[in-house]
Amino acid sequence: MNLPFSRTLCVCAAAATVVVMTATGVSAAAPSPSGAEAAAFAEAASPPVPMPANPQGMPAPTRPGNALDAFAGYQGQSACASTPSPGIVQLRALALQTYARGGTSPAYARSCASGGTSEHKDGRAWDWMLSYSNLADRKAAADFLSWLTGPGPSGVRGEMAARLGIMYVIFNHRSWSSYNREWSTYTGYDPHTSHIHISLSWNGARAHTSFWTGKVWATDYGPCQVFTSQPAVAPTNVARTQPCVGAVMSPRRSTLPFSWLGGGGDAVAVAQRSLRIPVTRLFDVATQRAVLQFQRNHDLPRTGALDKPTWASLQPASARLNVPDWTPREALAWAQGDAGSPTLHRASAGKSVYALQVALELPDQWRTGFFGRRTANTVIARQNAAGQTATSRVDSEFWSLLANR
């Protein structure tokens, strides 16, 4: 799979503040003068180091079966994690154990608040500090990369990359991806002569691949984005093997500024006061945890970010509507008329859910346009009171029930 946006990827360590993160509506700092996001991947090229024909490689912890994992397509970062994924932790440990080089490189996920789109932010990337200018480092890099991208035991080129769920690697002015499977010139801001950048697919990140488990797993699509121009939900350990339904516009926005892990300032202090946690002005892990809890309690997508829908519930005075300012009766009339009594359920999102929340006369903080626990419990209570089967599912019968009250 060769996706068109595969050219705008990553960019590691030193290359902070490069790509403006339009996917989440986050405006990064001033664009890099190098324009590194442009044409980071170019034409086919020689490998970054001469490749040994018979690399030692890394020992698989289990014996993979004959089935080979699908080569990963590009899965861009749009979520923020505070910890590295299991796949990164395991890969790092095994690489350092096997080659005993580059051990100063931490696995930790990086600040989500600076720089562009990067799997370092959602826990799927690791910078292995092997220097091209150091002979022993270079030999380790050559062995690893030859093993990873060359023919595997079954003769397939890049077999071990598939078995590990590698999305792409970058080293010494070259990149290799699972969707191109050849070395290309890398022209990003950082030439990657001080480290190998490794990005994993979501299967790779969860260590749900044949290298680690001996079996091939269903494709993991990673966390979903619920609202357009807002982040995807924070990653969990649960695989998602169904594609996301498309993101929709949030019914509410806010005048307060976006912030997430690594951010800070006055707005973060405002949020910390509202969340009743210590006011540090820094968006740290404790703040992310409190935001996630708030989102869970207020029917908001669990992004862990002070995104627009979250601000609208946390600071109602800052909220602005992207939908009409309905009375409950008007919301119901719209839902049963224009919207055709839509079927809604847990995790539904958008204008219809907002209309439902208004029609149910939920408190303002819960009118988020996202069908979470609060909305479900209220629906169940109404169904019980009316003697209907309590499913939390909203259908034409339930809309009629609300109308005939």
Per-residue tokens: 262: 């690594």
Instruction: Using the minimum distance from each CB to Zn ion, give the nearer residue, 127 or 220.
Output: 127
Instruction: Considering the complex, state which of residue 127 and residue 307 has its C-beta at the smaller distance from Zn ion.
Output: 127
Contact segment (CB under 5 A) with Zn ion among 195-203, 240-248, 309-317, 361-369 equals 195-203
Which is closer to Zn ion, CB of 12 or CB of 359?
12
Nearest C-alpha neighbor of 189 from the set 397, 358, 38: 38
Q: Report DSSP state, residue 253.
A: E
Site for Zn ion in 122-151 (CB under 5 A): 127
Q: Please identify, using beta-carbon distances, which residue of 78 and 259 lies nearer to Zn ion.
A: 78
Least Å distance, CB 1 to Zn ion, is: 22
Q: How far is the CB of 343 from Zn ion (least distance, A)?
A: 44
Give residue for tokens 């071990």: 160
Query: What's the min distance (Å) between Cβ of 172 and Zn ion?
Result: 14
Sign for the pseudo-dihedral over CA of 99, 101, 106, 109: negative
Neighbouring C-beta atoms of residue 61, cutoff 10 Å: 12
Q: State the nearest-atom distance from the C-beta of 102 to Zn ion, in Å.
A: 13
Q: CB of residue 105 vs Zn ion: minimum separation in angstroms?
A: 9
Task: Give the shortest CB-225-to-Zn ion separation in angstroms.
Answer: 23
- 197 contributes a contact to Zn ion by CB under 5 A: yes
Q: Give dist(CA 143, CA 282) in Å, integer.
A: 42
Nearer to Zn ion, 17 or 229 (CB): 17
H-helix or E-strand spanning residue 90? helix 86-99
Residue 226 near residue 233, CB atoms below 8 Å: yes
Instruction: Name the residue whose CB lies closest to Zn ion.
Output: 12
**Interface stretch with Zn ion, choices 27-35, 67-75, 119-127, 397-405 (CB under 5 A):** 119-127
Contacts 24+ apart (CB under 8 A), 314-319: 314/271, 314/274, 314/275, 315/254, 315/256, 315/270, 315/271, 315/274, 316/364, 316/365, 318/254, 318/255, 318/256, 319/252, 319/253, 319/254, 319/364
Q: Phi first, then psi: what are they for 292, rounded to 5°?
A: -60, -40
Q: Which of 197, 240 has the CB closer to Zn ion?
A: 197
Biggest CA–CA distance in the chain, Å, is 79
Residue ranges in 10-69 that form contacts with Zn ion under rule CB under 5 A: 12
Least gap, CB of 39 to Zn ion (angstroms): 18
Buried-state track 130-145, b at ≥16 Cβ within 10 A, e below 16: bbbeeeebbebbbbbb
Q: Which residues, 203 to 232, sit near Zn ion by CB under 5 A? A: none
**Binding span for Zn ion by CB under 5 A among 121-129, 143-151, 281-289, 297-305:** 121-129
Q: How many residues bind Zn ion (CB under 5 A)?
A: 3
Report, in Å, the least distance between residue 186 CB and Zn ion.
12
Residues that bind Zn ion in the complex, under the rule CB under 5 A = 12, 127, 197
